[in-house]
Structure 1
């Protein structure tokens, strides 16, 4: 649209003129309604509706030094395991008057740093990250400016600020213990090559006490990656008995490839996932997995970031939500 034909922005003065009040009274009716009469509030709101006025939140934020926005960074928006966290985080922030800005890092450290710098430039009040933020200039800037940060979906004893998560090392070790309890010896691993999946692999292999066939794929992982991973694992060991997958999506692909090859699950091959995605219970056979309470992570993260944004003291800086192993048909002993 040419500049000359652009519609003129409606200002607070236009609203005040339409309501028959002063600009100061109109401003108070919108930002501090307790200071004016109910009749004035109704007149100003009617004027807002009639004129199509949109308040300049940035200008208000510059005055109060608060933007009432929180940024959330996730590796990939479409990954099912992060969705309950983002949904709960959004709902809890909304109840407290904050809006969420979502950014996707794509498992790229450079992209993460660029997003952090952009969010700081946008004057967000706080940042929630799925995973641990990478050390570097961007993270140092957050600490220097005192911007509240909640790291999630991981565990460390030295978070940048606060943390809600669990140990991926312990997840891998627990799954290995489950495999050992079943007596499975010829086992393999289908895993993404990101940092958190690497920790699960480390815990799994360490508890088993030996190296195992491993198929590594690029995240985000899904059915095609799982099919290729099982093909690779069977090429390494045609007598493979069980597979631990770094995501439920990857495990779904392993199940699909097994069925295409006529391999029975769990009679011939046991398949185990990670993440506790909703669809895992509805696959055929249903998928054994490590369940993570993503909604609880979102709730705790919201409570921490709201408290920190308000300048309140946080007694518990690190919250471990733990995890649960859920056994389903894909690893259970078949009936006689």
Structure 2
């Protein structure tokens, strides 16, 4: 049987109203009484009914985070950062996966669970700029990621172009002459792959080098296995390179495994840098140089902006856009290479 407010009130020796006031953090409650209620809640394992609370107060104390795929380490670590940021505001986070599929993104965004949350953080992958009108929903919404700019919602993202350019410039500064752009998506302009390819091209052009299209390697999905498969194919066709800018860390790690299996030394023969600064990059052999895209800042900013919209849903303040700062993190996969 589920523990009820009545059970907590009886165990603490107070009224149900007092228990409710403690749960909702009302002031003017004796600290001794608050402590007794909280102790009873902990001992009984009481869990507030968010739906019932929402009916009474108009708030559930929960937000939704919609992400493409928790198997992608970046999104798993982003979810962790969002949950910690939300916890500072006493919010719980409902995580939903879209699989990066248009139908699922729309289903989640317009589904009945939206009535269970006060606001939504939405990392969109499949919807495009022409779908901006579909984001005009009653629930406060903050966009994450690289799609649908200038839409009806606040938007928090990273400096994809500038960061990818900095990663490429890092390898150029080490003396790399033939640098792979690893992780492109064919014909993509807007989106992580398209923007990071733009940054790569800018760095090559600024260095006064001609763009070699053969050095742009498409990687359909961005998991380790996809990076490994794409690298095997590149080596099989005899592609020559001495530097690799991977558009995320997972495909960089997959590519590094294949390079090492082929007897190619990192960084002596090929210098490698990734993007995302996932935790695993610190412990790979060699440890992976990467771009820290400001994930913690993205999470804190997104939650803070969403809280503002939740507090004042009738605000006519126009949508805002935020870009987190980034930094180049130099580790063993590029460190020590002779320039």
After TM superposition, the score normalised by the length of structure 1 is: 0.79
Q: Which runs of 5+ in 2 are unaligned?
A: 205-210
Residue in structure 1 matching 2:93, options 96, 100, 118: 100
1:1-32 CA-partner distances (Å, limit 9, x unpaired): xxxxxx5x666567778888876676556557
Q: Does 1:291 align with 2:298?
A: no
Consecutive unaligned residues of structure 1, counting only runs of 5 or more, are 1-6
**Is residue 172 from structure 1 mapped to residue 164 from structure 2 by the alignment?**
yes
Q: Given the superposition, is the C-alpha separation of residues 253 and 110 from structure 1 closer, same or farther in structure 2, using an over 3 Å criterion?
A: same
Q: Which has the larger radius of gyration?
A: 1
Other-structure match for 2:208: none
Give 1:57 deviation, angstroms.
Answer: 2.5
Q: Measure the CA separation in 1 of the matches of 2:64 and 2:166.
A: 33
Cα deviation 1:237-259 (Å, max 9, x = unaligned) = 44222222121121112221111
Secondary structure at 1:212's aligned position in 2? helix
Give deviations 1:183-242, integer Å, cap 9, x for gaps: 4333323216483123212332354334233433332411x3222222211233442222
Q: 1:10, 1:286 → 2: CA distance? A: 49
> Does the Cα contact within 8 Å between 1:72 and 1:129 map onto a contact in 2?
yes
- Equivalent in the alignment of 2:233: 232
Give the CA deviation at 1:278.
2.4
Q: How far apart, in 2, do the equivalents of 1:60 and 1:29 lie?
A: 13
Question: Which deviations, in whole Å up to 9, do the C-alpha atoms of 1:252-294 show, x marking residues without a partner?
Answer: 1222111111112222222221111222233222322112221
Report if aligned partners of 2:50, 2:116 keep a CA contact under 8 Å in 1. Answer: no
Q: Residue 175 of structure 1: SS of its match in structure 2?
A: helix
Aligned partner of 1:200 in structure 2 is 196
Distance in 2 between the 1:45 and 1:296 partners? 33
| 8 Å CA contact 2:162, 2:199 repeated in 1 | yes
Aligned residues: 327
User: For structure 1, which segment, 166-175 or 108-117, has the greater mean C-alpha deviation from structure 2 after superposition?
Assistant: 166-175
Inter-partner Cα distance in structure 2 for 1:19 and 1:90: 30
Whether the aligned pair in 1 keeps the contact of 2:68 and 2:125 (CA below 8 Å) is: no
Q: How does 1:1-336 map to 2 (within 5 A)?
A: 31=24, 34=27, 55-118=48-111, 121-131=114-124, 134-135=127-128, 140=133, 142-145=135-138, 147-154=139-146, 158-191=150-183, 193=185, 195-205=191-201, 207-208=203-204, 209-222=211-224, 224-311=225-312, 317-334=320-337
Query: 1:207 and 1:119, CA in 2 relative to 1: closer, same or farther beyond 3 A?
Result: farther
Distance of aligned partners of 1:14 and 1:113 in 2 relative to their CA distance in 1, 3 Å threshold: same
| Distance in 2 of aligned mates of 1:26 and 1:180 | 63
Deviates more, 1:312-321 or 1:77-86: 312-321
CA, structure 1 residues 285+115, in 2 after alignment: closer, same or farther (shift >3 Å)?
Answer: same
Distance apart, 1:94 and its partner CA: 2.1
Contact 2:77/2:278 (8 A) holds in 1? no
Displacement of 1:52 in angstroms is 7.3
The answer (yes or no) to whether the contact 2:127–2:147 under 8 Å persists in 1 is no
Structure 1 residues 213, 296: closer, same or farther in 2, change over 3 A?
same
Does the CA contact (< 8 Å) of 1:85 and 1:298 recur in 2?
A: yes
Q: Output one character per residue of 1:131-150: Cα deviation in whole Å (capped at 9) or x when no partner.
A: 568259986455242x2222
Shift of 1:35: 6.8
**Alpha-carbon distance, 1:36 to partner:** 6.9
Native 8 Å contact 2:184 2:216 kept in 1: no
